[in-house]
Amino acid sequence: MSNVINVMNASKTYKIVKKEEGLKGSLKSMISRKYEEKKAVENVSFSIDEGEFVGFIGPNGAGKTTTIKMLSGIVHPNSGEISVLGYMPQKLQNDFKRQIAVTMGQKNQLWWDIPAQDSFRLIKVIYNLSDKEFNKTVDELTELLGVKRLLDVPLRNLSLGERMKMEIIGAIIHNPKILFLDEPTIGLDVTSRRKICEFLQYINKERKTTIMLTSHYLEDIDLLCNRIIAINKGKVLYDGDIRGMKADSLDKKYVSVSAYNEESLKALKKYSNNIKETGNTIKMLVNRGDLQNIGKEVFLNDQFYDVNIEEMPLDEIFEILYNQRELV
């Protein structure tokens, strides 16, 4: 499997006007502007293989969107090297643009006042697609996403979920090799999100499309991606298997135990400082190494009637990762 994306020590810094408060500050900045530099991305390095489905995650302002824009050629890096499918994205060569697609959940790329099918026909002309190829692709994709009946409805009259489905279809009509998705399911209801996730799984597996996904919905990342790249303050914190991150980043589990009496529960509290109590049940965050000892106490005492062990949720893992861990 070959690399289709290579990023080596890429950095992007923006100059931002520094202005004092109030009218005086505004007038002063008109005469003599002062700037400060903001590092959006700092010495980021990673590579992605053909056919991978990679989750690119981080808090707001982490540098995710800037990185996506650099990979697609919208923004140029100040330093470092970026190669996508063997091209330098910032040159925006036609052959390069034909092989990638970008969809951003907060921006419309299709025309707002006309039906999606008319936008799709314009895209057909732009990419010089044959009638046979175009019709087959539109039929397949609209069927998969359940929006075929909406093709003649102006985009502005569709729901947010329906518009997002049309946006994704428009992005991949030309069958790109790489798809960059920046928060494609933001603000969508559960049903629409699930439908889009199933669709993305399909095109990744059936079309072998390489996908890079940013999302704040960590359940989507967990469902779709085997690998994640976690970024914060412009730096990569973690790059690897999502299951490996669960095992390596926090060697802890949640244990819920129910007992007939309070004394039995008290005996278990020595294993954790993080305890939630609800009636006759306690939920503790414990070290993996303590599970065996907890198990012995629970199963040798007939006062316990229920026990449950859970993995720590991804959102909690990421919160600790962002706040506590340095560059790996």
Task: Mark whether 95 and 18 lie in a shared domain.
Answer: yes
Per residue in 159-192, pLDDT (tens digit) is: 999 999 999 999 999 999 999 999 888 888 888 8
In a domain, 225, yes or no: yes
pLDDT higher than 70, residue 27 = no
pLDDT at 56 (0 to 100): 93
76 & 34 share domain: yes
pLDDT beyond 80 at 87: yes
pLDDT score of 118: 96
Indicate the pLDDT class of residue 1, thresholds 50, 70 and 90: low
| Better-predicted residue by pLDDT, 188 or 144 | 144
What is the rounded distance in angstroms from the CA atom of residue 2 to the CA atom of residue 187?
35
Whether residue 224 sits in one domain with residue 287: no
- Give yes or no: residues 92 and 214 share one domain: yes
Mean pLDDT of the chain: 87
Mean pLDDT of 62-81: 93
What would the mean pLDDT of 31-47 be, rounded to a whole number? 84
Could you tell me if residue 108 is inside a domain? Answer: no
The predicted structure's pLDDT at residue 325: 47
What is the arithmetic mean of pLDDT over 43-48? 95
Domain boundary residue, one of 220, 247, 274: 247
Average the pLDDT over 211-219 and give the result.
88
Tell me the average pLDDT across 103-126.
90
Do 183 and 225 lie in a common domain? Answer: yes
| Residue 326 pLDDT > 50 | no
Which residue range(s) make up the domain with 259?
251-311
102 compared with 105, residue with greater pLDDT: 102
More confident of the two residues 123 and 273: 123
Question: Are 262 and 188 in the same domain?
Answer: no
Residues 241 and 266 in one domain: no
- The confidence score (pLDDT) of residue 246 equals 65
Q: Are residues 219 and 189 in the same domain?
A: yes
CATH number, residue 228: 3.40.50.300
Residues 190 and 231 occupy one common structural domain: yes
pLDDT above 90 coverage of the chain, percent: 52
Domain annotation covers residue 160: no
Instruction: Record the tokens describing residue 212, joined without a space.
Output: 């890079």
- What pLDDT does residue 28 have? 67
Q: Is residue 324 predicted with pLDDT exceeding 60?
A: no
| End position of a domain, from candidates 199, 216, 247 | 247
132 part of a folded domain:
no
229-267 pLDDT, tens digit per residue, is 988 888 898 898 877 776 655 577 889 999 998 888 888
**Distance in angstroms (rounded) separating the CA atoms of residues 261 and 277:** 13
Give the end of a domain, one of 226, 247, 268: 247
**109 domain-assigned:** no
- Whether residues 12 and 44 share a domain: the answer is yes
CATH number at residue 256: 3.30.70
- The percentage of residues in the chain with a pLDDT greater than 70, rounded to a whole number, is 90
User: Is 111 within the bounds of a domain?
Assistant: no
Kindly report which listed range (40-49, 147-156, 286-295) carries the lowest average pLDDT score: 286-295
**pLDDT score for 328:** 36
Number of domains in the chain: 2
For position 68, what pLDDT does the model report?
94
**Same domain membership, residue 9 and residue 95:** yes
Do 214 and 295 belong to one domain?
A: no
- Say if 150 falls within a structural domain: no
Q: Is residue 65 part of a domain?
A: yes
Q: How far apart are CA 213 and CA 179, in angstroms?
A: 8
The pLDDT value given to residue 150: 96
Residue 327, pLDDT > 50, answer: no
Three-class SS string for the chain? CCEEEEEEEEEEEEEEEECCCHHHHHHHHHHCCEEEEEEEEEEEEEEEECCCEEEEECCCCCCHHHHHHHHCCCCCCCEEEEEECCECHHHCCHHHHCCEEEEECCCCCCCCCCEHHHHHHHHHHHCCCCHHHHHHHHHHHHHHHCCHHHCCCEHHHCCHHHHHHHHHHHHHCCCCCEEEEECCCCCCCHHHHHHHHHHHHHHHHHCCCEEEEECCCHHHHHHHCCEEEEEECCEEEEEEEHHHHHHHHCCEEEEEEEECCHHHHHCCHHHCCCEEEECCEEEEEEEHHHHHHHHHHHHCCCCEEEEEEEECCHHHHHHHHHHHCCCC
